[in-house]
Structure formats: C-alpha cells, structure tokens
C-alpha cells in the first residue's frame, strides 16, 4: 500500500487504484496556542468496501494526525471515524 500526500488529503493507493482517503481542512489560527497554531479538522475518511477491517482507515487517520502535528497544527475531527480514533489513541 502506498500513501500519497496531497494538500489537505492523504490517499491509499495499490496497483494504481485509489482505495481510501482521509481529508482535512484548515479551520482557523488559534491565538491562544503557542505561535498561534492552526487547527485542522479531519472531515472525511473513506476505505473501499473490499478493504474495510484491515486497518487502512486507522493508518490514514494516524498519518493525517502526524502530518498536521509535524507542521505545528492542532487536530480536531468532524468525521465520526476520526473522532473515535482520536478518542482511542489520543484521549481526545
């Protein structure tokens, strides 16, 4: 599985076929955080039905969180899967 990073999106590709994605959008700069960190909202996670239950959605969300935080951003989610992932893995 190859993961391709695009602006506000990471997709999972295998054999040239896109099989999943996570998308996130910039919400705002938060003046109350160090250096006015930007908050990003993970708003969509999708995995092809054939691969559900194989951990691909979790890997996509993990990569999105890592990508956002490595750039100094903060993560929130409106996507129900990402909310669950954050609660289980980050205590959010």
Domain ranges of the chain: 2-90
Residue 70 CA: distances (Å) to CA of 54, 55, 63, 67, 73: 26, 22, 10, 5, 7
Pick the CATH number of 2-90 from 3.40.920.10, 3.40.630.30, 3.90.120.10, 3.40.50.170: 3.40.630.30
Region class of 87: left (phi > 0), else alpha (psi between -120 and 50), else beta: alpha
* CA atoms in the 13 A half-sphere facing the CB of 44: 10
User: Which element (helix H / strand E) includes 22?
Assistant: strand 17-29
What pTM does this model have?
0.88
- Evaluate the CA torsion angle 55, 15, 43, 5 in order and state its sign: positive
Residue 4 φ then ψ, to 5°: -110, 125
| Per-residue pLDDT in tens (0 to 9) along the chain, 92 residues | 999 999 999 999 999 999 999 999 987 666 555 566 788 999 999 999 999 889 999 999 999 999 999 988 889 999 999 999 999 998 65
């Amino acid at each position: 599985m190859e993961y391709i990073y695009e602006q506000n999106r990471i997709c999972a590709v295998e054999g040239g076929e896109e099989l999943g994605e996570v998308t996130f959008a910039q919400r705002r700069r938060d003046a109350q955080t160090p250096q006015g960190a930007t908050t990003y909202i993970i708003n969509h996670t999708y995995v092809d039905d054939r691969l559900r239950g194989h951990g691909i959605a979790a890997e996509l969300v993990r990569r999105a969180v890592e990508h956002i935080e490595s750039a100094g951003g903060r993560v929130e989610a409106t996507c129900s899967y990402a909310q669950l992932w954050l609660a289980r893995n980050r205590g959010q």
